[in-house]
Structure 1
Amino acid sequence: MHYPDLATMIKSTAAVPPQGPIALVLVEDDVEVATTLRHHQHIGFKSLIACMPSTFKLPRDLEDTVIRVDYDMAVPDAMQDAVNLLITALPEGTWLYYCFNAEYLFHPFCETRTVGEMLAFHNEERRAAMLTYVIDLYADDLSEFPNAVALDRAHLDRSGYYALARPDAKGHPKERQLDFFGGLRWRYEEHVPAARRKIDRIALFKTKPGLKLRPDHTFSDEEYNTYACKWHHNLTAAVCSFRTAKALKLNPGSTFDIDTFKWHNSAPFEWHSRQLLDLGLMEPGQWF
């Protein structure tokens, strides 16, 4: 299905998926669009919505299985506007996930368990949102891959991640909320605006009336922004992303300062949840 804009899609009762989990993929450029969509189909999302420029092409199998919406990601606030529109359109309690192209969600044991099974367990723990860490991926050879994207040569940082207390309006730490940092946005922070240096994102959440996504990837309901419930650790997931590497190499202000993203703490990305669990980049909680 192909729609000229989100408003038209929302008005079509045939277009709005009746149940989740639903993945919203926000397409900023033409890099790895098809692999992003197929990855999220493979891990178990029941419906995919691709917001993308009208000039981009999709393979036929994706044209037949993805809800495509013409959308301009260059417009200010495009990300939160799209997510917030879907929050109002989807049935209350629908699990919704959002990401950008060249980003790939990994959850604990995703090789043998679907995202729906994970969210069913998370829901039983009375959680309405899930913290994800955006883990930067980058090609090992920037002369061969000048946009820093290479799926079969991807690397990630195996250390250098840390968290700071998240202050409220009065400067006091918020309960069960932290700001997480690391990866390329930490190593090249001089090229990244301070507001964009965090790597935490509430990428999976349940819709409800009045809920709003804010520009910093947090929600208007503060409980949605917590990393765990009050009584024990909860599941977390990882969004493995080439987005920062792409931006740093395509931005004229940073590209000439970066010959390689590799350093002594780089490791080949294995495209397997076990590696992310071993590195502490996601948490299985009580789900075994």
Structure 2
Amino acid sequence: MRYTSLTDFLKSNHAKRAPSPLAMVFVEDTAEIDTTARHHQQAGFQSILMFMPSNFDLAPDVDATVIRIDHDLTKDAPLADVVNGVIDTVPDKSWVYYCYNTEYLFHPFCETRSVGEMLTFHGEERRDAMLTYVVDLYADDLHASPNAVSLENAHLDRSGYYALARKTSEGHPKERQLDFFGGLRWRYEEHVPANRRKIDRISLFKTAPGLKLREDFTFNKEELNTYACPWHHNITAAVCSFRTAKALKRNPGSTFDIETFKWHNSAPFEWHSRQLLDLGLMEPGQWF
């Protein structure tokens, strides 16, 4: 199904009756559009919304199974506005996820357990949102893959991640909230604006009246921005993303300074949740 604008989609029954969990994929370029959609279908999302420029193509099998909305982030409403429009339209208490193309969600034990099973458990723990870490991926050979994207030869940083207290406007630490840093945004911070260096994102959340996503990927209800409940650790997930690597190679101010993203702490990405768990890049909480 295809809609020619966000407005047309939000008026439709597809929006008002979208089954949960629902994934929103925002397409910025032509890299790995189809694999992004297929990955999240295989993860167990019941609805896939593809927001993409009208001149981009989808593979026939993907086109037949997703809802496509013509939307160009460079010209039309920004991501936060689109997400908030969907929040206001889909059924209340729906689980929603959002990402960009070339980003792949991994959750603990995702090889044998669906995202729906994980969110059911998470909801039973009285949690309405889940913290995700955006883990940078990059091609090992930028001559062979000049856009820095290679599924077959993807690498990640196995160390260099850290967190700082998130503070209120008065300078006091927020309860159970941290700002997380690391990956390419840390290693090449001179090329990344300060307000875009964080790697934490509340990518999974449950819709509710009045809920709004802010531009910094946090919500207007502070409890949804916490990494855990007051009693114990909760599940976290990872969004494995080529997006930063693509941007650094596309940006004229940084591309000529980077011959390779590999360093002594690079490791091949195994496309398996066990590696991310072992590296501490996601947390199973009480879900065994």
Same fold (TM over 0.5): yes
Q: Which residue of 1 aligns with 2:149?
A: 149
Q: Which residue of 1 aligns with 2:58?
A: 58
Q: AA paired with 2:49?
A: I
Q: 1:214 is paired with a residue of what secondary structure? A: coil
Q: CA RMSD in A?
A: 0.9
Moved over 6 A (4+): none
1:119 is aligned to 2:119: yes
Q: AA paired with 1:160?
A: G
Q: How far apart, in 2, do the equivalents of 1:102 and 1:278 lie?
A: 23
Q: 2:131 is paired with a residue of what secondary structure? A: strand
Q: AA paired with 1:74?
A: T
Q: 1:17 to 1:153 in 2, by over 3 A?
A: farther
How big is the shift at 1:119?
A: 0.1
How big is the shift at 1:14?
A: 3.8
How big is the shift at 1:16?
A: 3.9
How many pairs does the alignment contain? 288
Q: 1:147 to 1:272 in 2, by over 3 A?
A: same
Q: Which residue of 1 aligns with 2:220?
A: 220
Cα deviation digits, residues 232-252 of structure 1 (max 9, x gap): 000000000000000000100
Q: AA paired with 2:120?
A: A
Q: Which residue of 1 aligns with 2:26?
A: 26
Q: Which residue of 2 aligns with 1:199?
A: 199
How big is the shift at 1:18?
A: 3.5
How big is the shift at 1:63?
A: 1.1
Q: How far apart, in 2, do the equivalents of 1:157 and 1:75 lie?
A: 33
Q: Which residue of 2 aligns with 1:48?
A: 48
Contact kept? 1:15, 1:67, Cα under 8 Å: no
Q: How far apart, in 2, do the equivalents of 1:25 and 1:18 lie?
A: 15
Q: 1:35 is paired with a residue of what secondary structure? A: helix
Q: 2:138 is paired with a residue of what secondary structure? A: strand
Once the two structures are overlaid, the 10-residue window that deviates more, 11-20 or 84-93, is: 11-20
Q: AA paired with 2:278?
A: D
- Unaligned runs of 5+ residues in structure 2 are none
Q: How far apart, in 2, do the equivalents of 1:175 and 1:186 lie?
A: 24
Q: How far apart, in 2, do the equivalents of 1:166 and 1:129 lie?
A: 18
Q: Which residue of 2 aligns with 1:284?
A: 284
Q: How far apart, in 1, do the equivalents of 2:42 and 2:17 lie?
A: 18
Written as runs of structure 1 = structure 2, the 5 A alignment for 1:170-189 is: 170-189=170-189
Contact kept? 1:17, 1:47, Cα under 8 Å: no
How big is the shift at 1:228?
A: 0.2
Q: How far apart, in 1, do the equivalents of 2:42 and 2:284 lie?
A: 20
Q: Which residue of 2 aligns with 1:102?
A: 102
Q: 1:65 is paired with a residue of what secondary structure? A: coil
Q: 1:174 to 1:15 in 2, by over 3 A?
A: closer
Q: 2:87 is paired with a residue of what secondary structure? A: helix
How big is the shift at 1:76?
A: 7.1
Once the two structures are overlaid, the 10-residue window that deviates more, 56-65 or 43-52, is: 56-65
Q: 1:152 is paired with a residue of what secondary structure? A: coil
How big is the shift at 1:19?
A: 2.5
Q: 2:13 is paired with a residue of what secondary structure? A: coil
How big is the shift at 1:15?
A: 4.6
Once the two structures are overlaid, the 10-residue window that deviates more, 220-229 or 10-19, is: 10-19
Q: AA paired with 1:68?
A: R
Q: 1:151 is paired with a residue of what secondary structure? A: coil
Contact kept? 1:77, 1:215, Cα under 8 Å: no
% identity of equivalent residues: 70
Contact kept? 1:87, 1:211, Cα under 8 Å: yes
Q: TM-score, normalised by structure 2?
A: 0.99
How big is the shift at 1:77?
A: 5.6
